[in-house]
Structure 1
Amino acid sequence: MVNTLDPAASPLDYYGGELRRFREAAGLTQKQLGAITSYTGSLIGQIETARKVPTFRFSEIMDAALGTGGALTRLTELVLRSELPAWFRQIAELEARATEIYVFQAQLVHGLLQTEGYARAVLGVMDRTDLDRRVAARLARQRILEKEYPPVLWMILDEAVLHRGIGGAEVMRGQLAHLLSFLDDPRVNVQVLPFTAGAHAGLPGPFNLYRFLDDPTILYSEDYEIAHPTANPAEVAARSLRYDHLQAASLSLRDSAELIQRMLEERYGDLP
C-alpha cells in the first residue's frame, strides 16, 4: 500500500512527493531506482514518505538518474533549512547572505567548521531525537563556503576548544585535522586565543558578526535556545571593538595552525 503524503505539510513532505512523482514518471520502482543509483530501495522509500532527510549528494544523484534538471537539489536547501530550530533559521539566512562572518567561540568549534562526528556529539547532548536530521541540517549550512563567491570567515577559538574532548579521540582527531585543512584558504581563517592571553575581551561570552554589501552589520549571540540578533549601531560597534581586541590577543594564523597541529600530534597522533 502506498503511503499518502500531504505535500503542503512541510518542505520535507513536498520533497518526498516530488521524488515519488519523478520516479513514477520515469517508470521505475524504488528498487529499480536504487539499483541505478547505488542507494537501497528502502532508503528511497523512507525519503519519499518523509521519514528521512535527503542529503545534497543524494539529490544530485537522483536528479542525474531521473533527468529532473536539478529540481531535487534546489529543493534540498529548503528542506534542510526547515529542519533547523525555528529560532535559528534567521541566523542561517544571515550566514547565507553575508559577505563577511566574524566568529568568537569559547566552548566549541562553530557549526560552519564542524565535522559530522563533532556535530553529532554536540547535538546529541541531552537530546538524541531526530539526530540524523539535525546533523544534516547543520552540515548543510557549510555549503555557503562552497559558493562561487563565498563569504570571508574569521573564526577565533579559545584554546579550551582544542582541549575539550567532544565525541571521543577519533572525532577530535578528525575535527582538528579539519581545522588545519583551511590553512591555505584565504577565505577561511582560524585563530586560537591562547590561555596565555589571560583576561580578554571575549570573557562575557561568544558572539558572531555578519557583514553585508548593502545592509547594516548584524550582531548575534545566543543563550541556550534563544537567539539575540541586533543591528543596533552602538551594540555592533562595541562588539566589533571587542573582536578587534580578541584578534590582537590571538595567535597568528600560522602560529594557530602550529598549536592545533601540536594538539593533534600529542593527543591523537597515535590513533589508527
Structure 2
Amino acid sequence: MVHINVLDPSASPLDYYGYELRRYREAGGLTQKQLGAIISYTGSLIGQIETARKLPTADFSERADIALGTGGLLSRLLPLVLRSQLPAWFQQVAELEARAIEIYTFQTNMVHGLLQTQDYARAVLGAVDTSKLDDRTAVRLARQRILEKENPPVLWTILSEAALRQEIGGDTVMRGQLERLLSYENNPRVNIQVLPYEVGSHAGLTGSFTLFRFATDPAIIYTEGYGMGHPTANPETVKDCSLRYDHLQAAALSLRDSAELIRRVMEERYGEQQL
C-alpha cells in the first residue's frame, strides 16, 4: 500500500494549497503523473507541492487551475502562500506593502526589493545563505505583484548613488538591474530619484527607511536591522521621517536627471547602453 502523507490544511497556507491541489486532483480521477502530463510538470513535483515540500509557481497554479477546473482557487491562494514563506519578521512589511496606497522609500546601498530583477535579488539573498535560493528569490519577487494591481500604489524611491555602483552579482546582473530601473521612466506610479555623491551630508545618513501611507489608517515608518524589522506608527517618528524624506527629495536629482545618471553609470561601468 502506498503511504500518503496526511496534510493538516490549517497548518499553513502552503499546506492548505497542497491539500486543495490533491483534493481537486483526486476528485478529477487523476494520478499525479496524469495531471503532470496534462500541465507539463512532473508527477514528482506535483507530489512535492501536495505534501508542502515545494513552493508552487504562478505558471503551475494557472495550469493546474485550468486542468482541474478550480475556478482560479490555486492562483488566488498563491500570493498568500508566498507571503507566508517570508521571514516571520518581514511578513508584516509585505502586508503593509499590499495595503499601502503610497510607498516612499530611501535606500542607501542597494535597490529596493520591489524593483529588483530576479538575478539581482538572487545575488542579494545568496550573499551569505544559499539554501533554498530559488524559492527565496521567488518569494521576494512575488511582492512585486502589487505594482501590477488594477490600482497599484504610488512608489517613490530615492536611491543613493552608491546603490547604482555597488556591484552586486557582476556586470551583467547590474546592467540588467539598471535597465529595470529605466523601464519605469515613463510610469507615473513608479518614480525613481538618485541622490548623487556630490550632495555630501544629507538627511538620510542614519540609514534606509520606508514610509507607508494608507487610505484611512495612520502612516507607518519602517526601518530594518539584521534579522529584524521595526515598523512604527508613532506620530513623532512619522513626522521626523516625513521631513527627512522631503529634504532627501529636494537634494536628489530630478526624475529626468536621475534617469540620465542611471544610463551613464550603466554605460560607463557595466557596458553598452541598452535603453
TM class, shorter-chain normalised?
Answer: over 0.9
- Show the counterpart of 1:56: 58
Alignment of 1:213-252 (within 5 A): 213-252=215-254
- Show the counterpart of 1:165: 167
Structure 1 position 89, deviation (Å):
1.0
- CA RMSD in angstroms comes to 1.6
Between the aligned partners of 1:178 and 1:242, the Cα distance in structure 2 is: 27
Summarize deviations over 1:171-226 as a string: whole Å, max 9, x none: 11211111111111100011110111111110010000000111111011011112
- Show the counterpart of 1:135: 137
1:157 aligns to what SS in structure 2?
strand
- Show the counterpart of 2:10: 8
Q: Is the 8 A contact 1:170 1:271 kept in 2?
A: no
Query: Which letter does structure 2 place at the counterpart of 1:38?
Result: S
Q: Is the 8 A contact 1:88 1:227 kept in 2?
A: yes
2:143 aligns to what SS in structure 1?
helix
Between the aligned partners of 1:132 and 1:175, the Cα distance in structure 2 is: 18
TM-score where L is the length of structure 1: 0.95
2:52 aligns to what SS in structure 1?
coil
Gaps of at least 5 residues in structure 2 are: none
2:231 aligns to what SS in structure 1?
strand
Between the aligned partners of 1:169 and 1:58, the Cα distance in structure 2 is: 32
Q: Relative to structure 2, which stretch is displaced further, 257-266 or 84-93? A: 257-266
Confirm whether residue 198 of structure 1 aligns to residue 200 of structure 2: yes
Q: Is the 8 A contact 1:119 1:135 kept in 2?
A: yes
- Show the counterpart of 2:93: 91
Between the aligned partners of 2:132 and 2:122, the Cα distance in structure 1 is: 11
Calculate percent identity across the aligned residue pairs.
Answer: 70
Q: 98, 104, 107: which is aligned to 2:106? A: 104
Structure 1 position 238, deviation (Å):
0.8
Q: Relative to structure 2, which stretch is displaced further, 140-149 or 23-32? A: 23-32
Q: Is the 8 A contact 1:47 1:53 kept in 2?
A: yes
Alignment coverage as a number of residue pairs: 272
Structure 1 position 143, deviation (Å):
0.7
TM-score where L is the length of structure 2: 0.94
Summarize deviations over 1:86-123 as a string: whole Å, max 9, x none: 11111111111100000000011111111111111111
Between the aligned partners of 1:262 and 1:40, the Cα distance in structure 2 is: 45
Q: Relative to structure 2, which stretch is displaced further, 138-147 or 34-43? A: 34-43
1:208 aligns to what SS in structure 2?
strand
2:192 aligns to what SS in structure 1?
strand
Q: 24, 27, 30: which is aligned to 1:25? A: 27
Q: Is the 8 A contact 1:87 1:225 kept in 2?
A: yes
Query: Which letter does structure 2 place at the counterpart of 1:33?
Result: L
Between the aligned partners of 2:4 and 2:184, the Cα distance in structure 1 is: 45
Confirm whether residue 73 of structure 1 aligns to residue 72 of structure 2: no
Summarize deviations over 1:32-82 as a string: whole Å, max 9, x none: 222222222232222122121112222122111211001101111111111
Q: Structure 1 runs of 4+ off > 4 angstroms?
A: none
Between the aligned partners of 2:271 and 2:37, the Cα distance in structure 1 is: 40
1:228 aligns to what SS in structure 2?
strand
Between the aligned partners of 2:100 and 2:124, the Cα distance in structure 1 is: 25
Summarize deviations over 1:129-179 as a string: whole Å, max 9, x none: 222222121111111111111000000000000111111222112111111
2:103 aligns to what SS in structure 1?
strand
Between the aligned partners of 1:2 and 1:243, the Cα distance in structure 2 is: 58
Between the aligned partners of 1:169 and 1:2, the Cα distance in structure 2 is: 49
Structure 1 position 270, deviation (Å):
4.7
1:165 aligns to what SS in structure 2?
coil
1:28 aligns to what SS in structure 2?
coil
Q: 169, 184, 187: which is aligned to 1:185? A: 187
2:135 aligns to what SS in structure 1?
helix
Structure 1 position 23, deviation (Å):
1.5
